[in-house]
Amino acid sequence: MKTESITNVKTTQETTAVKAFGTDAADAPLQPMNIQRRQPTPHDIEIEILYCGVCHSDLHTARNEWHGTTYPCVPGHEIVGRIVRVGDHVKKFKVGDVAAVGCLVDSCRECQYCQDDLEQYCENGFTGTYGSPDKHLGGQTYGGYSESIVVDEAFVLRVPDHLDLAATAPLLCAGITTYSPLRHWNVGPGQKVGIVGIGGLGHMGVKIAKAMGATVIVYTTSPSKVEDAKRLGADDVVLSKDKEQMKKYAGQLHFVLDAVSAQHDINAYLNLLRVDGALVLVGAPELPLPVAAFGLIPKRRTFAGSMIGGIAETQEMLDFCGEHNIVSDVELIQMDQINEAYERLLKGDVKYRFVIDMASLKG
Protein backbone atom coordinates (compact mmCIF):
# COMPACT_ATOMS: atom_id res chain seq x y z
CA MET A 1 0.00 0.00 0.00
CA LYS A 2 1.22 3.50 -0.71
CA THR A 3 -0.03 6.86 0.58
CA GLU A 4 -0.60 9.67 -1.89
CA SER A 5 -2.60 12.83 -2.44
CA ILE A 6 -5.34 12.77 -5.02
CA THR A 7 -7.23 15.65 -6.57
CA ASN A 8 -9.87 13.97 -8.75
CA VAL A 9 -12.21 13.85 -5.78
CA LYS A 10 -14.60 16.03 -3.79
CA THR A 11 -11.91 17.26 -1.40
CA THR A 12 -8.19 17.07 -1.73
CA GLN A 13 -7.14 14.66 0.96
CA GLU A 14 -4.66 11.96 1.80
CA THR A 15 -5.61 8.56 0.47
CA THR A 16 -3.91 5.22 0.22
CA ALA A 17 -3.57 3.35 -3.05
CA VAL A 18 -4.49 -0.31 -2.60
CA LYS A 19 -4.50 -3.26 -4.95
CA ALA A 20 -7.90 -4.43 -6.16
CA PHE A 21 -9.57 -6.53 -8.85
CA GLY A 22 -12.31 -5.00 -10.93
CA THR A 23 -13.65 -4.34 -14.38
CA ASP A 24 -13.89 -1.34 -16.71
CA ALA A 25 -16.81 -2.59 -18.80
CA ALA A 26 -19.73 -5.04 -18.80
CA ASP A 27 -18.03 -7.28 -21.35
CA ALA A 28 -14.49 -7.05 -19.98
CA PRO A 29 -12.95 -9.59 -17.60
CA LEU A 30 -11.99 -8.59 -14.07
CA GLN A 31 -8.35 -7.59 -13.84
CA PRO A 32 -5.90 -6.02 -11.39
CA MET A 33 -6.34 -2.30 -10.72
CA ASN A 34 -5.41 0.25 -8.06
CA ILE A 35 -8.07 2.08 -6.07
CA GLN A 36 -7.89 4.77 -3.36
CA ARG A 37 -8.98 4.28 0.25
CA ARG A 38 -9.45 7.25 2.59
CA GLN A 39 -7.32 7.74 5.70
CA PRO A 40 -9.44 6.64 8.66
CA THR A 41 -11.50 9.50 10.13
CA PRO A 42 -12.02 9.47 13.96
CA HIS A 43 -14.93 6.98 13.65
CA ASP A 44 -13.37 4.81 10.95
CA ILE A 45 -11.78 1.39 10.98
CA GLU A 46 -9.24 0.20 8.43
CA ILE A 47 -9.51 -3.53 7.74
CA GLU A 48 -6.96 -5.69 5.98
CA ILE A 49 -9.22 -8.04 4.00
CA LEU A 50 -8.49 -11.74 4.54
CA TYR A 51 -11.45 -13.29 2.71
CA CYS A 52 -14.17 -12.04 0.38
CA GLY A 53 -17.11 -14.15 -0.77
CA VAL A 54 -18.32 -14.12 -4.39
CA CYS A 55 -22.03 -13.25 -4.53
CA HIS A 56 -24.07 -13.62 -7.72
CA SER A 57 -24.89 -9.90 -7.29
CA ASP A 58 -21.18 -9.22 -7.93
CA LEU A 59 -21.57 -10.90 -11.31
CA HIS A 60 -24.92 -9.18 -12.12
CA THR A 61 -23.25 -5.83 -11.30
CA ALA A 62 -19.89 -6.40 -13.02
CA ARG A 63 -21.77 -7.35 -16.20
CA ASN A 64 -24.33 -4.52 -15.85
CA GLU A 65 -27.25 -6.96 -15.81
CA TRP A 66 -29.24 -4.55 -13.60
CA HIS A 67 -28.38 -1.65 -15.90
CA GLY A 68 -26.98 0.75 -13.28
CA THR A 69 -23.30 -0.10 -13.04
CA THR A 70 -20.71 2.69 -13.06
CA TYR A 71 -17.23 1.63 -14.13
CA PRO A 72 -14.65 0.88 -12.98
CA CYS A 73 -16.47 -1.58 -10.75
CA VAL A 74 -14.76 -3.42 -7.88
CA PRO A 75 -17.30 -5.92 -6.46
CA GLY A 76 -17.29 -7.80 -3.16
CA HIS A 77 -19.57 -7.42 -0.11
CA GLU A 78 -18.85 -10.51 1.97
CA ILE A 79 -15.76 -9.29 3.77
CA VAL A 80 -13.86 -10.72 6.73
CA GLY A 81 -10.55 -9.23 7.80
CA ARG A 82 -8.30 -7.95 10.54
CA ILE A 83 -8.33 -4.42 11.87
CA VAL A 84 -5.06 -2.62 11.18
CA ARG A 85 -5.96 0.98 12.15
CA VAL A 86 -8.72 2.65 14.14
CA GLY A 87 -9.72 6.32 14.39
CA ASP A 88 -9.40 8.18 17.72
CA HIS A 89 -13.10 7.89 18.61
CA VAL A 90 -13.58 4.22 17.77
CA LYS A 91 -14.99 2.43 20.81
CA LYS A 92 -16.21 -1.03 19.80
CA PHE A 93 -13.05 -2.33 18.10
CA LYS A 94 -9.28 -2.29 18.46
CA VAL A 95 -6.31 -3.02 16.24
CA GLY A 96 -5.85 -6.78 15.79
CA ASP A 97 -9.56 -7.66 16.11
CA VAL A 98 -11.24 -9.75 13.44
CA ALA A 99 -14.07 -7.78 11.85
CA ALA A 100 -16.58 -8.16 9.04
CA VAL A 101 -18.30 -5.88 6.53
CA GLY A 102 -21.36 -6.81 4.50
CA CYS A 103 -23.38 -5.02 1.84
CA LEU A 104 -23.75 -1.65 3.62
CA VAL A 105 -21.06 0.83 4.63
CA ASP A 106 -23.28 3.83 5.50
CA SER A 107 -26.81 5.26 5.37
CA CYS A 108 -28.43 8.61 6.29
CA ARG A 109 -28.87 7.42 9.91
CA GLU A 110 -31.81 9.84 10.37
CA CYS A 111 -34.83 8.61 8.43
CA GLN A 112 -37.51 6.42 10.03
CA TYR A 113 -36.02 3.25 8.60
CA CYS A 114 -32.46 3.99 9.73
CA GLN A 115 -33.82 4.74 13.20
CA ASP A 116 -35.56 1.36 13.17
CA ASP A 117 -32.35 -0.53 12.25
CA LEU A 118 -33.58 -1.03 8.69
CA GLU A 119 -30.71 0.80 6.98
CA GLN A 120 -31.13 -1.39 3.91
CA TYR A 121 -34.40 0.47 3.25
CA CYS A 122 -32.96 3.95 4.04
CA GLU A 123 -35.23 6.62 2.52
CA ASN A 124 -32.24 8.59 1.37
CA GLY A 125 -30.44 5.61 -0.10
CA PHE A 126 -27.93 3.49 1.79
CA THR A 127 -24.27 3.51 0.81
CA GLY A 128 -23.52 0.10 -0.66
CA THR A 129 -20.12 -1.46 -0.13
CA TYR A 130 -19.57 -1.09 -3.86
CA GLY A 131 -21.18 1.00 -6.59
CA SER A 132 -22.70 3.73 -4.37
CA PRO A 133 -21.73 7.42 -4.23
CA ASP A 134 -18.71 7.72 -1.88
CA LYS A 135 -19.55 10.43 0.69
CA HIS A 136 -15.91 10.89 1.65
CA LEU A 137 -13.91 10.83 -1.56
CA GLY A 138 -16.56 11.52 -4.19
CA GLY A 139 -16.76 9.04 -7.03
CA GLN A 140 -18.17 5.68 -6.02
CA THR A 141 -17.47 3.03 -3.41
CA TYR A 142 -15.26 0.04 -4.17
CA GLY A 143 -15.86 -3.40 -2.68
CA GLY A 144 -14.03 -6.25 -1.10
CA TYR A 145 -12.04 -7.64 -4.02
CA SER A 146 -9.22 -5.51 -2.60
CA GLU A 147 -6.43 -5.49 -0.05
CA SER A 148 -8.16 -3.29 2.49
CA ILE A 149 -11.25 -1.20 3.19
CA VAL A 150 -12.04 1.77 5.46
CA VAL A 151 -15.50 1.72 7.07
CA ASP A 152 -17.27 3.68 9.83
CA GLU A 153 -17.38 1.50 12.95
CA ALA A 154 -21.19 1.73 13.02
CA PHE A 155 -21.23 -0.50 9.92
CA VAL A 156 -18.59 -3.00 11.05
CA LEU A 157 -19.63 -6.40 12.47
CA ARG A 158 -18.14 -8.75 15.03
CA VAL A 159 -17.38 -12.36 14.09
CA PRO A 160 -18.05 -15.07 16.72
CA ASP A 161 -14.67 -16.37 17.97
CA HIS A 162 -14.85 -20.01 16.97
CA LEU A 163 -16.12 -19.75 13.39
CA ASP A 164 -13.82 -20.49 10.43
CA LEU A 165 -13.09 -17.09 8.89
CA ALA A 166 -13.19 -18.05 5.19
CA ALA A 167 -16.48 -19.90 5.69
CA THR A 168 -17.91 -16.96 7.67
CA ALA A 169 -17.45 -14.43 4.85
CA PRO A 170 -20.58 -15.55 2.91
CA LEU A 171 -22.75 -14.96 5.98
CA LEU A 172 -22.31 -11.22 5.34
CA CYS A 173 -24.63 -11.32 2.32
CA ALA A 174 -25.91 -14.86 1.67
CA GLY A 175 -26.46 -15.39 5.41
CA ILE A 176 -28.27 -12.16 6.21
CA THR A 177 -30.32 -12.14 3.00
CA THR A 178 -31.85 -15.47 3.94
CA TYR A 179 -31.96 -14.94 7.73
CA SER A 180 -33.85 -11.64 7.50
CA PRO A 181 -36.98 -12.87 5.66
CA LEU A 182 -37.02 -16.15 7.62
CA ARG A 183 -37.12 -14.05 10.83
CA HIS A 184 -39.50 -11.44 9.51
CA TRP A 185 -42.07 -14.09 8.47
CA ASN A 186 -41.54 -15.88 11.82
CA VAL A 187 -40.40 -19.19 10.38
CA GLY A 188 -40.06 -21.83 13.08
CA PRO A 189 -41.15 -25.20 14.46
CA GLY A 190 -44.31 -26.72 13.02
CA GLN A 191 -43.82 -25.03 9.64
CA LYS A 192 -42.95 -26.50 6.27
CA VAL A 193 -40.56 -24.22 4.38
CA GLY A 194 -39.43 -24.48 0.76
CA ILE A 195 -36.02 -23.19 -0.33
CA VAL A 196 -35.67 -22.73 -4.09
CA GLY A 197 -32.26 -22.62 -5.80
CA ILE A 198 -29.36 -24.09 -3.87
CA GLY A 199 -26.56 -21.67 -4.57
CA GLY A 200 -24.81 -19.35 -2.13
CA LEU A 201 -28.04 -17.91 -0.73
CA GLY A 202 -30.15 -21.07 -0.95
CA HIS A 203 -27.72 -23.31 0.92
CA MET A 204 -27.55 -20.77 3.75
CA GLY A 205 -31.33 -20.61 3.73
CA VAL A 206 -31.49 -24.38 4.26
CA LYS A 207 -29.08 -24.29 7.21
CA ILE A 208 -30.71 -21.29 8.87
CA ALA A 209 -34.35 -22.40 8.38
CA LYS A 210 -33.41 -25.80 9.82
CA ALA A 211 -31.73 -24.17 12.83
CA MET A 212 -34.90 -22.11 13.36
CA GLY A 213 -36.78 -25.39 13.73
CA ALA A 214 -38.70 -25.59 10.43
CA THR A 215 -39.16 -28.64 8.23
CA VAL A 216 -37.17 -27.78 5.11
CA ILE A 217 -37.96 -28.87 1.55
CA VAL A 218 -35.34 -28.05 -1.07
CA TYR A 219 -36.25 -27.31 -4.70
CA THR A 220 -33.33 -27.68 -7.08
CA THR A 221 -32.80 -27.99 -10.82
CA SER A 222 -29.53 -29.89 -10.21
CA PRO A 223 -29.67 -33.68 -9.70
CA SER A 224 -26.11 -33.46 -8.33
CA LYS A 225 -27.36 -31.42 -5.35
CA VAL A 226 -30.06 -33.85 -4.16
CA GLU A 227 -27.91 -35.86 -1.73
CA ASP A 228 -25.98 -32.80 -0.69
CA ALA A 229 -29.13 -30.89 0.20
CA LYS A 230 -29.93 -33.57 2.79
CA ARG A 231 -26.43 -33.19 4.24
CA LEU A 232 -27.08 -29.45 4.49
CA GLY A 233 -30.18 -30.23 6.58
CA ALA A 234 -33.06 -30.61 4.12
CA ASP A 235 -35.83 -32.98 5.22
CA ASP A 236 -36.82 -33.62 1.61
CA VAL A 237 -35.58 -32.60 -1.83
CA VAL A 238 -37.64 -32.03 -4.98
CA LEU A 239 -36.18 -31.92 -8.48
CA SER A 240 -38.04 -28.89 -9.76
CA LYS A 241 -37.87 -29.91 -13.44
CA ASP A 242 -39.93 -33.04 -12.65
CA LYS A 243 -43.65 -32.10 -12.83
CA GLU A 244 -44.73 -35.21 -10.87
CA GLN A 245 -42.34 -34.42 -7.98
CA MET A 246 -43.58 -30.80 -7.96
CA LYS A 247 -47.07 -32.02 -6.98
CA LYS A 248 -45.88 -33.51 -3.69
CA TYR A 249 -46.25 -30.45 -1.45
CA ALA A 250 -48.82 -28.49 -3.52
CA GLY A 251 -50.87 -26.25 -1.20
CA GLN A 252 -48.90 -27.35 1.88
CA LEU A 253 -45.98 -24.98 2.51
CA HIS A 254 -46.16 -22.09 4.98
CA PHE A 255 -43.27 -20.20 3.43
CA VAL A 256 -41.09 -20.36 0.33
CA LEU A 257 -37.79 -18.54 -0.10
CA ASP A 258 -36.84 -18.14 -3.76
CA ALA A 259 -33.10 -17.56 -4.28
CA VAL A 260 -32.86 -18.24 -8.01
CA SER A 261 -30.60 -15.93 -10.03
CA ALA A 262 -32.17 -16.52 -13.47
CA GLN A 263 -35.58 -16.65 -15.22
CA HIS A 264 -37.87 -19.38 -13.87
CA ASP A 265 -41.58 -20.08 -13.38
CA ILE A 266 -42.57 -18.43 -10.11
CA ASN A 267 -46.13 -19.78 -10.37
CA ALA A 268 -44.90 -23.32 -9.83
CA TYR A 269 -43.74 -22.21 -6.37
CA LEU A 270 -46.79 -20.07 -5.52
CA ASN A 271 -48.83 -23.25 -6.03
CA LEU A 272 -46.94 -24.89 -3.17
CA LEU A 273 -48.27 -22.40 -0.59
CA ARG A 274 -51.11 -23.14 1.79
CA VAL A 275 -53.71 -20.49 2.75
CA ASP A 276 -51.92 -17.32 3.94
CA GLY A 277 -48.55 -18.73 2.92
CA ALA A 278 -45.87 -16.37 1.64
CA LEU A 279 -43.37 -16.68 -1.19
CA VAL A 280 -40.48 -14.29 -0.67
CA LEU A 281 -38.22 -13.49 -3.57
CA VAL A 282 -34.60 -12.73 -2.77
CA GLY A 283 -33.16 -13.85 -6.12
CA ALA A 284 -32.92 -10.93 -8.52
CA PRO A 285 -33.07 -12.06 -12.17
CA GLU A 286 -32.55 -9.45 -14.85
CA LEU A 287 -36.06 -9.71 -16.39
CA PRO A 288 -39.59 -9.57 -14.83
CA LEU A 289 -41.21 -12.79 -13.59
CA PRO A 290 -44.90 -13.15 -14.65
CA VAL A 291 -47.27 -13.95 -11.77
CA ALA A 292 -50.66 -15.57 -12.41
CA ALA A 293 -53.50 -13.84 -10.52
CA PHE A 294 -55.08 -17.20 -9.73
CA GLY A 295 -51.86 -18.42 -8.20
CA LEU A 296 -52.38 -15.77 -5.49
CA ILE A 297 -56.11 -15.14 -5.09
CA PRO A 298 -57.72 -18.48 -4.12
CA LYS A 299 -55.49 -19.14 -1.10
CA ARG A 300 -54.89 -15.50 -0.01
CA ARG A 301 -51.22 -16.03 -0.77
CA THR A 302 -48.55 -13.35 -0.38
CA PHE A 303 -45.80 -12.69 -2.90
CA ALA A 304 -43.10 -10.46 -1.41
CA GLY A 305 -39.46 -9.44 -1.69
CA SER A 306 -36.70 -8.83 0.82
CA MET A 307 -33.35 -7.09 0.63
CA ILE A 308 -30.28 -8.10 2.69
CA GLY A 309 -30.72 -6.94 6.33
CA GLY A 310 -29.86 -4.03 8.62
CA ILE A 311 -26.68 -3.80 10.68
CA ALA A 312 -28.24 -4.87 14.00
CA GLU A 313 -29.94 -7.83 12.33
CA THR A 314 -26.70 -8.79 10.57
CA GLN A 315 -24.98 -8.92 13.95
CA GLU A 316 -27.93 -10.94 15.32
CA MET A 317 -27.51 -13.37 12.38
CA LEU A 318 -23.75 -13.72 13.00
CA ASP A 319 -24.40 -14.43 16.69
CA PHE A 320 -27.15 -16.93 15.76
CA CYS A 321 -24.73 -18.68 13.38
CA GLY A 322 -22.07 -18.68 16.11
CA GLU A 323 -24.52 -20.28 18.55
CA HIS A 324 -25.63 -22.93 16.02
CA ASN A 325 -22.17 -23.46 14.46
CA ILE A 326 -23.41 -22.44 11.05
CA VAL A 327 -21.00 -21.36 8.32
CA SER A 328 -21.06 -21.55 4.56
CA ASP A 329 -19.76 -24.49 2.48
CA VAL A 330 -17.01 -22.78 0.54
CA GLU A 331 -14.58 -23.35 -2.29
CA LEU A 332 -11.52 -21.18 -1.70
CA ILE A 333 -10.11 -19.53 -4.84
CA GLN A 334 -7.21 -17.23 -5.71
CA MET A 335 -8.00 -13.72 -6.89
CA ASP A 336 -6.91 -14.43 -10.46
CA GLN A 337 -9.43 -17.31 -10.71
CA ILE A 338 -12.36 -14.90 -10.43
CA ASN A 339 -13.34 -14.85 -14.12
CA GLU A 340 -13.44 -18.63 -14.23
CA ALA A 341 -15.44 -18.62 -10.98
CA TYR A 342 -18.04 -16.28 -12.55
CA GLU A 343 -18.47 -18.70 -15.47
CA ARG A 344 -18.96 -21.59 -13.07
CA LEU A 345 -21.44 -19.53 -11.01
CA LEU A 346 -23.53 -19.06 -14.15
CA LYS A 347 -23.71 -22.83 -14.56
CA GLY A 348 -24.70 -23.39 -10.91
CA ASP A 349 -21.37 -25.17 -10.54
CA VAL A 350 -20.30 -24.19 -7.02
CA LYS A 351 -20.78 -25.98 -3.70
CA TYR A 352 -21.83 -23.55 -2.46
CA ARG A 353 -19.91 -20.29 -2.31
CA PHE A 354 -16.63 -19.20 -3.84
CA VAL A 355 -14.51 -17.29 -1.36
CA ILE A 356 -11.39 -15.41 -2.45
CA ASP A 357 -8.27 -15.86 -0.35
CA MET A 358 -7.19 -12.22 -0.45
CA ALA A 359 -3.59 -13.10 0.39
CA SER A 360 -3.44 -14.08 -3.30
CA LEU A 361 -3.95 -10.44 -4.33
CA LYS A 362 -0.82 -9.27 -2.53
CA GLY A 363 1.36 -11.55 -4.68
Neighbours of 314 (CB within 10 A): 29
CA distance from start to end of the chain: 13
Q: Is 99 in the site for Zn ion (CB under 5 A)?
A: no
Q: Which of 107, 168, 220, 328 binds Zn ion (CB under 5 A)?
A: 107
Q: Which of 114, 196, 212, 318 binds Zn ion (CB under 5 A)?
A: 114
Site residues for ligand NAP, 295-354, by CB under 6 A, read 306-308, 345, 348
Taking contact as CB under 6 A, which single stretch among the options 13-21, 110-118, 130-138, 261-269 is the one that binds ligand NAP? 261-269
Instruction: Assess 282 for contact with ligand NAP (CB under 6 A).
Output: yes
Of 26, 28, 33, 108, the residue at the interface with Zn ion (CB under 5 A) is 108
In a 13 Å sphere around the CA of 100, the CA atoms on its Cβ side amount to 32
Q: Check residue 355 for interaction with ligand NAP (CB under 6 A).
A: no
Is residue 146 near ligand NAP by the rule CB under 6 A? no
Query: Which of ligand NAP, Zn ion, none sits in contact with 225, Cβ below 5 to 8 A by type?
Result: ligand NAP
Q: CA-to-CA distance for 205 and 127, rounded, in angstroms?
A: 25
What minimum distance in Å lies between the beta carbon of 183 and ligand NAP?
14
Measured from the CB atom, is 36 or 57 closer to ligand NAP? Answer: 57
Nearer to ligand NAP, 18 or 345 (CB): 345
Looking at residues 52 to 81 of the shown chain, list those that interact with ligand NAP (rule: CB under 6 A).
Answer: 55-57, 60
Does position 264 bind ligand NAP by CB under 6 A?
yes
